[in-house]
Structure 1
């Protein structure tokens, strides 16, 4: 075949619908036990369907069969699959949870699979529990459209719709206290081209206290919309629904009732309640004849319970928006912890700085202290220790003693302090001896008594001095002369510190 003919043939295949003609063998046992249903959508006389050589407009395949199609277009035929899952004994139902999976059909069929429906029949007063193994479910609602290739429709056995769901949401599971049917189809009427394994997990279990129970785990920064079953139609009469909402640690849930339709009740009341798990007190309560705020914040796992009355006018339906946010108490705790930590660090740094400054000041302002010795020597203990006593040193030992050395120093020192007169030279003793004592009256004054050479020297009383911390000591002299300034300081010792107690 030439290249031009090949190109023309491809163009024809592109613009001309694919026409199926020929036989097709189908074995339902290879399709997860599903029954196959094929029907003509429009009266097209050129499209002919046969099962085991019998012409039909509707074909149901429950066992291995031979199908024949002639001149049938994909838009002429609809292909669906169905399966019934039931359990009569509760103990047997819980042992064998069922998996709802989309089967792979033979390619010889004139159209792809458009939907799969499972009818779920629990024991009497039993419950059907649905969960997605590929991720939590989400209700398909206005403002919360599903971004998925499939849509899951759940319908009660009385024909009322529970809701439309898709994957990638926050609903962990759905419990329904009745028999239901679950239908999986393509979004916006598209066919199920790709097979999906384990769309849902099903457990048939015992009775629950509510008509519906939803387990919800919201995610941070992703608002969740929860609508009453049947939305946008109202709830069934006297039916109840409960959402069990889990709130992560250090978070809180902000509830906003964005759309509330309260009916006029002929019997009983509608009720909306919020209650924390494990807490008997209610966080929020509202009836159809009461006014209540439309927002509430809950800081722990909680129940959102709603019940319907027997409506006389209008329907009961509620749309709730849940948003997770960081807990205010946690934020306050974090702020206080940070402030406390900063205060502790500041206190430690301040203590270290103060200790350093104190040590520096103490080192700077605590000079070496001299010790006053009334016997004639001021010294610094840190330099050479305490001086030796006269018994310890040999300063009083002389090789020879001269009289001029003995008396001249004493007389000169006495003259300096004003006790004796001035003597230029040493005068020998010319007075009487002990055998020639002069006669002196007892009442003679001590001032007229002559100084005896062999008389023991008596030290005069100490003059009145200023305080020790104001007096300067220089060159081992005990006192300064009266005409010297009292404010002079020793250049060797530095300033004095006032002793403790002010003495």
Structure 2
């Protein structure tokens, strides 16, 4: 505000601090300046508006739409307070306002009707009458409504500045807006809304035109910026001309956008492009209507083309890499009266310099493929304000688009119209399916990126193989050309590519992990359908492509979600983690690791956190660590117990982790490391082992003598088992099983023949024998199979350690190496309640003890 309490803009409204202004549209303007005291009494504009007779001009001052919040501001004329004022030709009106800021409450519309049907049209430059300097500082809208015969074409020429079309919800930065409409009989058709500083230089229409120029109250513009010319019939709704001086882009829309294009109409865009540049068209958004007759289409007229006009459907890839001027036309159809639908189109024309790659053609041969597709598309990047030349992929050098999908069964010739090919990447997908389990067993596939794709000058982002096998009948084994490393925070992959392995079933997707070459994983087995994705991280993948390669083989079915075969490197630590690291191992699922330990090495197993944090809703979460040579097992509850401290293993061993149904938010995830160190044997260990061996031989001799002596005293009746009534037959309480067996002879049996003395106690009502449920643990007797350890017994919640060949032998009751350890599981209610929710995932039958 100034010293008189007025907005500074009001000093511009009335040249002498707000004196009365006399306005006579197109005739005269007079102004007087009152004294400062008089101005304080009238802190607003006072105007006299006169409209000449026969000028075809009308003036309307009204509230804007939408109306501002209610406030006591009115138009004062003839001592009356009014909210709207209409002045017809030949009328004169004195106008003042009751507030200091009328521009916030009122707008002025000046409309001129031009009838070219009853008289000559005033062709040439269109003037603002009156100019902006002679009007009160309200938001102003000048409207020219020109009516013409159907056979007359009218042309609006925009010399400076040219126009840029905007869509719904967009606005012009300077507030100056051009709204242009045409007419079909009595129906008004909106051609579009435009701002300044664009490429549109001319708009031709038939049967009249309505042009509205909106100027904000603060804008100093005082020219219309266009002229009207007479043209012959154009025989279509309109023609829009767009001129490019250099590189740039233009976004244009069909009439009535986003509403429906008029039925069975034709609209054309003419593009003027310098000869040294190239133009490409891409459709940003379109809809088609329901046609009864004809067909909706777009037509291109390209100078020099032998097939003009070139006709395309709206869903087709549009032409690109075009040199020189060209036309694009949109043709509607006769629509279904009951369900017409909507035809609309929004597209972009990009003009840029020709690139070196646009002259080179690449051949992609997918003729022998059946289930493969390749997509070339822009990388997702943030767009800046400056003009960025587009990247297009062209089929047969003419049909260009920002993204192209090449399908199987044909050869494809492509070229690139792009200034920087690093802005594009490729994604490919291939399905490998074998659903007949009799034919598929041991069938294998080579998972390698084809050479045709590697030759392209665009980076490969993803190549995915979907592997499908019969459900619950067969599984998959993935063997890499080079051993793999699992990506973790501790050992991040630093190669140019890696593999993402996931198991895909109808119920869930299990992400097994991300892997890259250069590690210790020799094989990954997946229970059912899986997805393997090769993902690149650098352009150097083309040079390292020879290092990639996986063999996918179909193998017998197993119940684990995944089995990893790992041979640690003697020089590096191996970090491994459970699948679905971010979301936790799925409920009631199991995964195993087969860790190989060389004969001259010792493996140290270390868990990198103290507890898992999992909380079970049902079932139990546990871990089994089993020596493969001696079958020694340790079972740990993962829900309550502290994870084991670092442990050393002299032989290859299994790690099996099985999950329960966890409480939401309490997921199971484990990270552990395996480190190899050279195995060392000192003299005391050798002496102790030698002494222990001699003692064991002596004990065995005594046992043999004792047994033979007992046999002599047995009668010739059938051999029977000797029952010891002093034996403790109860299951061990939930605590660590003691290694010493002092005062415990439950493992000692004499000769057990085919029929037991107490066999009648095991008979059911039909006379058949009931076999007790047993778990059998045997010492090492030969090579170990590929099956991981079985699930833990239902009663066991604590680690259970069994003897190994490397542990000291107890002093009591020496045994032979071939003697099996057998624990009978108690029936329900006898000792403990077995939890039936524990998933028993081992498919092998229990090993029967030798007789």
Question: TM-score range, shorter-chain basis?
Answer: 0.5 to 0.7
Match of 1:177 among 519, 527, 548: 527
Does residue 133 in structure 1 map to residue 133 in structure 2?
Answer: no
TM-score, L = length of structure 2: 0.35
1:256 lines up with 2:606 in the alignment: yes
Cross-structure match for 2:375? 37
Bigger share in helix: 1
The CA deviation at 1:248 is 1.7
Q: Which residue in the other structure is 1:28 paired with?
A: 366
Query: Partners in 2 of 1:324 and 1:74 — Cα distance?
Result: 46
CA RMSD of aligned residues (A): 3.3
Shift of 1:231: 2.3
1:203 to 535, 550, 553: 553
Check the 8 A contact 2:503/2:527 in 1, yes or no: no
| Residue 290, structure 1, aligned to residue 641, structure 2 | yes
Offset at 1:113?
Answer: 2.6
TM-score by length of 1: 0.57
State the 1:200 CA deviation: 0.9
CA displacement at 1:290 relative to structure 2: 2.3
Q: Distance in 2 between matches of 1:17 and 1:115?
A: 29
Counterparts of 1:263 and 1:244, CA distance in 2: 24
Q: Cα offset for 1:114?
A: 2.9
Map residues 200-239 of structure 1 onto 2, 5 A cutoff: 200-239=550-589
SS at match of 2:471: coil
Contact 1:19–1:73 at 8 Å: present in 2 too? no
Tell me which structure has the larger Cα radius of gyration.
1
2:493 is equivalent to residue 155 of structure 1: no
What is the rounded CA distance, in whole Å, between the counterparts of 2:564 and 2:574 in structure 1? 13
What SS does the aligned partner of 1:105 have?
Answer: helix
Deviation, 1:326, is: 3.4
Please give the per-residue CA displacement for 1:443-480, whole angstroms capped at 9, x wherever unaligned.
Answer: xxxxxxxxxxxxxxxxxxxxxxxxxxxxxxxxxxxxxx
- SS where residue 418 of structure 2 aligns? strand
Distance, in Å, in 2 between the alignment partners of 1:333 and 1:83 is: 61
Structure 2 gaps of 5+ residues are 1-352, 689-851
Task: Confirm or deny that 1:247 pairs with 2:597.
Answer: yes
* Distance change in 2, residues 1:243/1:332 (3 Å): farther
Q: Which of 598, 604, 627 matches 1:276?
A: 627
Q: 1-side partners of 2:497 and 2:585: how far apart?
A: 25
Following TM superposition, by how much is the alpha carbon of 1:228 offset from its aligned partner in structure 2, in angstroms? 0.6
Structure 2 counterpart of 1:460: none
Name 2:404's counterpart in structure 1.
59
Aligned residues: 322
CA distance in structure 1 between the partners assigned to 2:496 and 2:679 by the alignment: 36
Shift of residue 19 of structure 1?
Answer: 5.1
Structure 1 unpaired stretches of 5+: 1-15, 338-503
Measure how far apart 1:311 and its partner are.
1.2
Contact 1:261 1:318 survives alignment (8 Å): yes
Residue 238 of structure 1 aligns to a residue whose secondary structure is coil
Secondary structure, aligned partner of 2:452? coil
Shift of 1:55: 4.0
Q: If each structure's strand is expressed as a fraction of its own residues, which one has the higher value?
A: 2
The range that moved more, 29-38 or 151-160, is: 29-38
1:46–1:317 CA distance, 2 compared to 1 (3 A) = closer
Instruction: Tell me: CA distance 1:295–1:74, structure 2 relative to 1, closer, same or farther (3 Å).
Output: same
Change (3 A) 1:17 1:93: farther
Greater relative contact order: 1 or 2 (C-alpha under 8 angstroms, separation 6 or more)?
1
What's the offset of the Cα at 1:224?
1.2
Once the two structures are superposed, the pairs formed by residues 76-475 of structure 1 within 5 Å of their partners are 76-105=423-452, 109=456, 111-125=458-472, 126-134=474-482, 136-157=483-504, 158-187=508-537, 192-196=542-546, 199-259=549-609, 260-277=611-628, 279-312=630-663, 313-327=665-679, 330-332=681-683
Deviation (angstroms), 1:294: 2.5
- Asked if the contact 2:497–2:541 (Cα under 8 Å) also holds between the matched residues in 1, the reply is no
Counterparts in 2 of 1:194 and 1:252: CA distance versus 1, 3 Å:
closer
